[in-house]
């Protein structure tokens, strides 16, 4: 059976799980928590590198900051969209103030900027706040 690598959203352990169309249950081999959790995870630089390098599923990263009004407006849409793709997409947030070196590495000039990563590479990005509908349309092309 084909396997895919997913990074646990709770502890960061890399899990290899059978590739399926749908999952009813999948737990982390290390911390036992559910790999189906969809709440966007907050990334520091190490967690960012781990997620992007070790995930076979695309990682959607919202580059944001506390002072950014449009970022806050977009947060509920981001969470809502994340909930629709358990183990299909990993949704994460990166605070550009706290993690300036990552923001610099990807030349983030305006926020919110949302970047899709696959196999450790940026595959697409979009700047500006998106509605849940726009976000869903944009991410559905990466599955
Ligand atoms: Zn875990």
CATH code, 84: 3.40.30.10
DSSP letter for 27, please: B
Rounded mean pLDDT of 115-134? 97
At residue 74, the pLDDT reads 98
Q: Total domain count for the chain?
A: 1
Mean local confidence (pLDDT), 36-41: 97
Task: Report the C-alpha gap between 42 and 82 in whole angstroms.
Answer: 13
Active site annotation includes 31: no
Question: Residue 100 is part of which domain span?
Answer: 38-140
Each residue of 18-36: pLDDT tens digit? 999 999 999 999 999 999 9
Asked, for residue 22, whether it belongs to a domain, the answer is: no
Respond yes or no: is residue 68 known to be catalytic. Answer: yes
Does 134 map to a domain?
yes
Per the domain annotation, does 5 fall within a domain? no
Q: Is residue 23 part of a domain?
A: no
User: Cβ-count burial of 26 within 10 angstroms (0-12 exposed, 13-18 middle, 19+ buried)?
Assistant: middle
Ligand 1 centroid – CA 110 distance (Å): 33
Q: How far is the CA of 42 from the centre of ligand 1 (A)?
A: 15
Q: Is the confidence at residue 45, as pLDDT, over 90? A: yes
Domain assignment of residue 62, yes or no: yes
Give the other-Cβ count within 10 Å of 124's Cβ. Answer: 15
pTM as predicted: 0.97
């Amino acid at each position: 059976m084909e396997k895919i690598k997913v990074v646990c959203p709770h502890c960061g352990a890399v899990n290899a799980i059978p590739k399926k169309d749908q999952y009813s249950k999948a737990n982390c081999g290390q911390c036992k928590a559910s790999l189906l959790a969809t709440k966007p995870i907050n990334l520091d630089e190490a967690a960012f590198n781990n997620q992007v390098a070790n995930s076979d599923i695309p990682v959607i990263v919202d580059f944001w900051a506390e002072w950014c009004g449009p970022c806050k407006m977009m947060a509920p849409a981001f969470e809502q969209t994340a909930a629709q793709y358990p183990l299909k997409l990993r949704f994460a947030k990166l605070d550009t103030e706290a993690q300036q070196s990552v923001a610099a590495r990807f030349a983030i000039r305006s926020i919110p900027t949302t970047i899709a990563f696959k196999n450790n590479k940026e595959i697409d990005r979009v700047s500006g706040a998106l509605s849940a509908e726009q976000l869903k349309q944009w991410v559905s092309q990466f599955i």
